[in-house]
Structure 1
Amino acid sequence: MTKAQFRRALAVTTVAACLATTVTAFTATGASAHGRPGAGHDRTSRAEAARVDRVPTPDPGWYDCSSIFMPGSECGTVELPLDYDQPRKGTTEVALLRVRATDPAQRIGSLFVNPGGPGGSGVEIAAFAPYFLSPEVLARFDVVGLDPRGTNYSSNVQCFRNVGEQDAALSGMYVPFPQGQGQTAAFVDSAWKLGKACSTTGTPLSASMSTAQVARDMDVVRRAVGDEKLTFLGFSYGSYLGQVYANMFPDRVRAVTIDGVLDPLAWAGTRATANIPVTERLASGTAAWRATQEILDRCEQAGPDLCRTAGIGEPRAVWDGVAAGLRATPIELRDPETDELIVTVDWPVFVSAVLGTLYAPEAYLGVDALTWAIHWLLQPETPENAEIRAEALASLVGYERAQQQNAAEHAATRTERASELGFAFPYYNGTEAFSAVLCTDSVNPRRPEDWIAASERQDAIAPGFGPSWTWGSAQCASKAWTARDEDAWTGRFDARTASPVLVVGNLWDPATAYEGAVAAAKVLPNSRLLTSDNWGHTAYGTSACATEAIDRYLIGGELPVEGTQCTGDVQPFVDQPMSRGSQAPRALPPVVPPVPGSTPRSS
């Protein structure tokens, strides 16, 4: 992709919501966050230093793209080695976006950001920076986003020859998760086809997209923007990128913050856990189930005046009734005026809709509304309930119409961009990009069929949510996905970094279980865990406490006091404050959940 094409392809939508701050501190002098001043730090290995340091510092060719984004924003591209062990055997193009510091006289350096995924766009989250980062952070840093190799505006991985071939191969995966023998067989067949296609047609790029390669790219770009050490804010899967970087380049860390944290050992896997799918090891299904059940419990406590589901009966019992009803008899959701079939709501579709609502701080509203509406549509129609069933149908039709409209708008945007780039048909590579990172990073069972037993195990622990998360990695089966990145990170995760790593875990996160943050902080000797009692996915922007803690560390290296726990401003079924802080309302970061097809949190 040329710079001109890149410039035309970029487009961003604006969001809005909230921000603010408070915390006590620790000065970043290289002292351990665990209270051992002067303990020293580990060094980048000679082999790893040789890989990245021999790459000539690239020139991104920054050009002004203020007309598309914000004043002071710049775009660029760099060519980086496809294989850092053999840098002369081909390159891949990586797209960058930079938003300049608003107070150049007080500028500290660059803040690298990543929204998760894997496969989320660093370019787009950097473009969003003026809307969700605090003015203090924006004043002190150039915000830099790079699109991980193979994704978005960087050179794209493509596992199929065309969109028709792609659609035919992946059609079995077009369900939130399979239910019944027919769907399961189709899903397994598509997982085989995806793994094999990405291990043949998709190479060599698909075999060079591990997180370690992105960390190497980020280190080269760090040098290109003139920073001696890395300042990084990574959300969701971006937390794993931050952890890999910190362990590969421990002496090059200035300030790394990870929010919505993946357990690194669960993501990568070990010999002992190789027969458990990565998406089962992460326990995201358990996290989503736990959040849902807590909302139902608080619904019961609040009563029917604040939670409609409580007016039906005991909320957990109502949920169980909805689950049983949808497993037995899906609902055909039809337009009440035209009788047009809009969507068939079965158990997987319902779980997927609820999961989508759980990514927002206002998660309780979606759980209550969806449970209440589906309950009434599962009841036989009588003269007594006709009015309430009509209300339930109208609310669900409106919800689904809005979802379809959003999807259509996104598809139209992709088509327009593809047309500008000269493509007759847009090729969406999100599933392939996600898979190329996940499957080269992690060890997994041998065959996609092994996910059937894994899904059943998880369904017993976290009904619905367990299978929804677990099936997301079936293409990574080692017999299906045979492309290997020999330079993927297989080292340990306990390097002592030059500066501390701030680890932020959310108690009610439905995607990255709080236990992942605990595990990451436990293994990293120079880290500090900040706990947040908030709803939705990740913590930044959900309270003054959490946001201020992260800001203070990024700017001045000050850590929150050990044991600090923040509380999200939005809590289920209680009166909410006007905003999430004392400053003007700001957006939540546009975080991408770590499973394909999941609904990102809206602001």
Structure 2
Amino acid sequence: MECKRITAIVVATALVAAGCAEDDPPSAPPQTSPTSSAVALTPCAVPKIPTARCGSITVPLDRSHPEAGTTEVAFALVPRANQALPSLGTIVTNPGGPGSGTVDLVGFRYAEGLRPVLDRRDLLLVDPRGVGRSAPISCPSLEDPARVFAAVEVQRAAIGRCGEALGDKAGYYGTAAVADDFDDVRAAVGVDRVDLLGDSYGTYLMTTYAARHPDHVRSVVLSGAYPVNTDHDSSGAFAAAALRRAIGLVCERTTSCSGPTVLADLAALAARLRTAPVAFTVPFEGRSFDVVLDEWQLAGTVGKLYSGAADVETKLALAAALAAARAGDLAPVQELVKAHLLEMASIPAMGVGLVSEPLAWATTCHDYQRDFSYADSAAERQRAFADALARLKAEDFAPFSPKAWVTRDSYDAGACLDWPADPTATAPVAKGTKLADVPVLVLSGDLDANTSTASGEEAAAQFPNARLVEVAGAGHTPTITDEGAKLAMEFIARDHP
């Protein structure tokens, strides 16, 4: 599954748009604002949002087995600024991940952009269990930045040790449980129906919420979306096709490169590094790490470059670096790889109030499709995974080999090979589940090789009343663009039934 690990966090929430304030309410505005709260709310310190009121509720770790214990889920309610007029509703948002917080991440990064929506609508920010203010979990094996610079097998082993360290709790952080937590928070603050707004992994979470609690959904906006549980091709071929298209679009629109030439250069360098990798050193926090620049590292860097915001300047730098490599100079490519690795290594420094790698992998290893069974032995898992790789068609993953692309970086399809056996691991929504017949807007960026437009089409097809809009020039989560934000806010502001 092409998904949104914490290395691809983008906090957009359509609230960054300017000029989206609602001066006139729609006719007969829906009564979806907080009424009477069943939980104490107190003023709290949310970055740059002084009106926020915070609370927390206690929820079961496993609703099917109350004896497993409980955990705390924290949230912040931001009341509308204009109390003289009726509320136009309550928005519940999630910025992505899995593994990202919401309360401090949204407040810290986009407080200024929140002003238009906060004028007439209330905002409910919920930290998913295991991160932020909601009883964050930790794993020593994921804290050492050295693993970021290591080979894929080392990284998988560290993820597996995290699962072992979590023990019995490893299976309690699936998206279904998080969606149910969100609904408990909704009920606790006295809201009937909500407008759901999800970016990246947030689209997976909000779709799950809509499936499990349809009566409490007024509308849904999914930005950078992918389906929850269909016959979706989870191999990454969609993303490889989106990468090829995006490279062509960047070159065509800027006239600064040739798409076919960039792809040919990329394929040639990938083939070269496949047989003749190059070692170099990356300094980080006073230490030096040996890095092997091979096809796998190249795929991770290029994939990430086209899996975030539409940073055209860096994309053109990639084209220039590949041209230099064709002439024998690998230094520019090494600089791009270095920048990517340093970004990944810096993620833990953001703190558990913002991101949690343990939660990211606990959710991923519980929810997403796998090419092996947790019931199998380690050797059987490896054989099943190798067999799945062998079945992939090379042409579907050009300019990389299938193995390099589907195991790249934090999108590694084998990341959970060492995860402890978990008999409860399953997708949060069963195939064939009828989703809520509510208005749904799906936004996809045409430069996004993470959750491609093809993935967005499948996400929209899950709902009986969904519309897909591809935003030209946008990368992952189009709500960070002016056009995407405007589309999202206009959609939420409509007088939906």
TM-score range (shorter-chain normalised) is 0.7 to 0.9
Q: Residue type of the partner of 1:286?
A: A
Please list the CA deviations of residues 545-584 of structure 1 after superposition, one character each: whole Å capped at 9, or x if unmatched: x32221122223469xxxxxxxxxxxxxxxxxxxxxxxxx
Please list the CA deviations of residues 183-230 of structure 1 after superposition, one character each: whole Å capped at 9, or x if unmatched: 5xx566556x44xx62x5424432222211111111111122221112
Secondary structure of 2:166's partner?
coil
Secondary structure of 1:265's partner?
coil
Please state how far the C-alpha of 1:235 moved relative to its aligned partner.
1.0
Partner of 1:502: 441
Task: Pick the aligned partner of 2:356 from 430, 435, 449.
Answer: 430
Instruction: Give yes or no for contact 2:94–2:198 (8 Å, CA) kept in 1.
Output: yes
Partner of 2:386: 452
Please state how far the C-alpha of 1:406 moved relative to its aligned partner.
5.3
Please list the CA deviations of residues 358-391 of structure 1 after superposition, one character each: whole Å capped at 9, or x if unmatched: 13443443333124224424645xxxxxxxx5xx
Please list the CA deviations of residues 460-480 of structure 1 after superposition, one character each: whole Å capped at 9, or x if unmatched: 221243332796343546994
Structure-1-length-normalised TM-score? 0.64
1:549 maps onto 2:487 in alignment: yes
Aligned mates of 1:404, 1:174 — CA distance in 2: 7
Structure-2-length-normalised TM-score? 0.76
Query: Which range moves more in the overlay, 397-406 or 449-458?
Result: 397-406
Query: Which range moves more in the overlay, 484-493 or 84-93?
Result: 484-493
Task: Pick the aligned partner of 1:150 from 120, 130, 134.
Answer: 130
Instruction: Give yes or no for contact 1:282–1:512 (8 Å, CA) kept in 2.
Output: no
Cα distance, 1:493–1:506 mapped onto 2, change above 3 Å? farther
Instruction: Give yes or no for contact 1:78–1:94 (8 Å, CA) kept in 2.
Output: yes
Q: Residue type of the partner of 1:234?
A: G
Counting aligned pairs with the same residue, the percent is 23
Please state how far the C-alpha of 1:123 moved relative to its aligned partner.
1.8
Secondary structure of 2:412's partner?
helix
Task: Pick the aligned partner of 2:97 from 117, 125, 136.
Answer: 117
Please state how far the C-alpha of 1:413 moved relative to its aligned partner.
5.1
Secondary structure of 1:80's partner?
strand
Instruction: Give yes or no for contact 2:13–2:479 (8 Å, CA) kept in 1.
Output: no
Task: Pick the aligned partner of 2:209 from 240, 245, 270.
Answer: 245
Task: Pick the aligned partner of 2:244 from 279, 293, 311.
Answer: 293
RMSD of aligned Cα (Å): 4.2
Please state how far the C-alpha of 1:98 moved relative to its aligned partner.
3.4
Please state how far the C-alpha of 1:542 moved relative to its aligned partner.
2.1
Q: Residue type of the partner of 1:282?
A: S
Instruction: Give yes or no for contact 1:459–1:467 (8 Å, CA) kept in 2.
Output: no
Aligned mates of 1:487, 1:535 — CA distance in 2: 29
Aligned mates of 1:456, 1:331 — CA distance in 2: 26
Partner of 1:282: 234
Partner of 2:275: 328
Aligned mates of 1:397, 1:488 — CA distance in 2: 40
For the pair shown, which has the larger CA radius of gyration, 1 or 2? 1
Partner of 1:224: 188
Partner of 2:421: 481
1:370 maps onto 2:318 in alignment: yes
Secondary structure of 1:439's partner?
helix
Secondary structure of 1:222's partner?
helix
Secondary structure of 1:264's partner?
coil
Unaligned runs of 5+ in 2: 1-10, 21-25, 30-35, 283-287, 374-379
Please state how far the C-alpha of 1:488 moved relative to its aligned partner.
4.9
Please state how far the C-alpha of 1:15 moved relative to its aligned partner.
13
1:536 maps onto 2:484 in alignment: no
Please list the CA deviations of residues 99-124 of structure 1 after superposition, one character each: whole Å capped at 9, or x if unmatched: 33222334334211111221221223
Task: Pick the aligned partner of 1:84 from 63, 76, 85.
Answer: 63
Secondary structure of 1:257's partner?
strand
Please list the CA deviations of residues 278-307 of structure 1 after superposition, one character each: whole Å capped at 9, or x if unmatched: xx8335x3344233323443466579x723
Cα distance, 1:524–1:82 mapped onto 2, change above 3 Å? same
Partner of 1:215: 179
Unaligned runs of 5+ in 1: 1-12, 31-55, 267-272, 274-279, 381-388, 419-427, 560-603
Q: Residue type of the partner of 1:556?
A: R
Q: Residue type of the partner of 1:119?
A: G
Cα distance, 1:17–1:252 mapped onto 2, change above 3 Å? closer
Aligned mates of 2:111, 2:450 — CA distance in 1: 23
Secondary structure of 2:229's partner?
helix
Instruction: Give yes or no for contact 1:112–1:144 (8 Å, CA) kept in 2.
Output: yes
Aligned mates of 1:496, 1:14 — CA distance in 2: 24
Cα distance, 1:341–1:219 mapped onto 2, change above 3 Å? closer
1:493 maps onto 2:444 in alignment: no
Cα distance, 1:297–1:117 mapped onto 2, change above 3 Å? same
* Structure 1 segment 193-212 matched on structure 2, within 5 A: 193-194=160-161, 198=163, 201-212=165-176
Cα distance, 1:237–1:70 mapped onto 2, change above 3 Å? same
Aligned mates of 2:357, 2:381 — CA distance in 1: 16
1:359 maps onto 2:285 in alignment: no
Please state how far the C-alpha of 1:234 moved relative to its aligned partner.
0.7
Please list the CA deviations of residues 497-551 of structure 1 after superposition, one character each: whole Å capped at 9, or x if unmatched: 3x3222323344211132232223223223333333333102113243x322211
Partner of 2:295: 347
Q: Residue type of the partner of 2:296?
A: P
Aligned mates of 2:53, 2:275 — CA distance in 1: 54
1:126 maps onto 2:77 in alignment: no
Please state how far the C-alpha of 1:157 moved relative to its aligned partner.
3.5
Instruction: Give yes or no for contact 1:299–1:315 (8 Å, CA) kept in 2.
Output: no
Aligned residues: 456
Aligned mates of 1:401, 1:554 — CA distance in 2: 41
